[in-house]
Amino acid sequence: MRYAGTHLIIDLWGATNLDDPGHIDAVLREAAIATGATILHGHFHHFSPNGGVSGVLVLAESHVSIHTWPERDYAALDIFVCGDCDPYKAIPFLKRGFLAERVQLAEHKRGLIG
Amino acid sequence: MRYAGTHLIIDLWGATNLDDPGHIDAVLREAAIATGATILHGHFHHFSPNGGVSGVLVLAESHVSIHTWPERDYAALDIFVCGDCDPYKAIPFLKRGFLAERVQLAEHKRGLIG
């Protein structure tokens, strides 16, 4: 099976520190590096009044994104990496960084060419 | 059914202009605006030697991303929007902007709380 990359859609429930852009930036960078990726660019936005954060890391091997709803202890992430990177290696770092009670995950093989 | 947002995973096959960061930026901005979203930040990276482009738009309502493989006429996108935004409104702009022969699509309701 040949494909361009693996894209994980990740939901974190019962999570903490979802309103701290600095913490979120640090956790995502650590998680991205754990997959084997190279970080090219990051941008994190802090919203008012709910304190939610939206952010992205552009990687040499695609991207990581996060959007948080602190009022619901919920965060929506996706991790898309290519080549030899393994997106599943990010999961322990996300669990530890956000102390999520529950993680839901879906995987897409992107650019599948048989 | 209550959820945080709608996340489309979009594959474009037989697409053109996948090695032009300026064009890609313009198409994605137009597509994002069509969903009803507000653009906060954009970043596009042009790779060598294959000429592929990786880019993201951070929206007030989440994000749009693209990663292109010009050598395969293939692009992997995702569009995640919340609130009253409709990600499906982006599709005609992507079709027109990249003249894709084939579009594949998967939808995730993110943060579904029943």
Cβ–Cβ < 8 Å for A64, A57: yes
Chain B residues in contact with A54 (beta carbon < 8 A): 40, 58-60, 62-63
B1 contact partners, CB below 8 Å, separation of at least 6: B109, B112, B114
Specify the CATH number for the domain of residue B14.
Answer: 3.60.90.10
C-alpha angle A33-A108-A42 in degrees, rounded to nearest 5:
35
Task: For residue B5, give the nearest of B58, B84, B69, B74 by alpha carbon.
Answer: B84
Task: For residue A53, give the nearest of B5, B62, B109 by alpha carbon.
Answer: B62
- Structure confidence by residue, pLDDT tens digits, B30-87: 999 999 999 999 999 999 988 999 999 999 999 999 999 999 999 999 999 998 999 9
pTM check: above 0.90: yes
Residue B31 structural domain: 5-110
Chain B residues in contact with A62 (beta carbon < 8 A): 54, 65, 67, 76
Q: Annotated active-site positions of A, please?
A: 62, 67, 82
- Give me the number of domains chain A comprises: 1
Judge: B76–A111 Cβ closer than 8 Å, yes or no. Answer: yes
Chain B residues in contact with A55 (beta carbon < 8 A): 58
Judge: A80–B62 Cβ closer than 8 Å, yes or no. Answer: no
Distance CA A85, CA B15 (A): 26
Interface of B with A in 15-44 (CB under 8 A): 40-41, 43
User: Is the ipTM beyond the 0.90 threshold?
Assistant: yes
- Structure confidence by residue, pLDDT tens digits, A21-50: 999 999 999 999 999 999 999 999 999 988
